[in-house]
Structure 1
Amino acid sequence: MNKRVALIGIVVDNKESAEPLNALLHCYGEYIIGRMGLPYPQRGVSIISVAVDAPADVISALAGKLGMIPGVNSKTIYAKLPQE
């Protein structure tokens, strides 16, 4: 299994996207190491960072599904660790 450690940075600019976003993250909960959310009402956005430890294809699937939620932008960065 090709497991990777990654950080997914998410910016939410539509409050209506919070429910589908949280539902999606819940589905991938077994891979989530930790999650931190920062509301930024002055700019009308929320910023979320999600650390994951998962197979590369699972991380790619999650990133792809995040990109399909309206009002959600995300980027994924991978740790330079030996792969398991």
Structure 2
Amino acid sequence: MDKRVGVIGIVIEEFANAPKVNEVLHNFAQIIVGRMGIPYKERGVSVISLIVDGTTDEISALTGKLGKISGVNVKSAITKK
């Protein structure tokens, strides 16, 4: 299966679940090229952006696991080829 480059945006609204997010990201470290995290204290959220390079199955598995965590919103965009 072809690898694709993508970006994943993660918004954490429940800080208690941040360790779960980090655990998932650790488990998918092999496809993460870069990560930037910003705590937005004034709004009570944290925002993480990821650059990924993997198969569509790998990227979907990552976003799927993140999306199942309570208080976490995830969106992604990947290249077509």
Same fold, TM exceeding 0.5?
A: yes
Residue of structure 1 in register with 2:21 after alignment: 21
How much identity, in percent, do the aligned residues show?
A: 52
1:54 maps to a residue whose letter is G
Matches within 5 A, 1:43-82: 43-80=43-80
TM-score for both structures, normalised by structure 1? 0.92
Instruction: Provide the secondary structure at the position in 2 that maps to 1:70.
Output: coil
Q: Which runs of 5+ in 2 are unaligned?
A: none
Output the CA distance in 2 between the equivalents of 1:17 and 1:77: 24
SS of the residue aligned with 1:8? strand
CA shift for structure 1 position 78? 1.1
3-state secondary structure, aligned to 2:69: coil
Write out the 4+ residue segments of structure 1 that deviate beyond 4 Å after TM superposition.
none
1:63 corresponds to which letter in structure 2? T
Paired residue total: 81
Deviation at 1:62, TM superposition (A): 0.7
Mark the runs of 5 or more structure 1 residues left unpaired by the alignment.
none
2:21 maps to amino acid: L
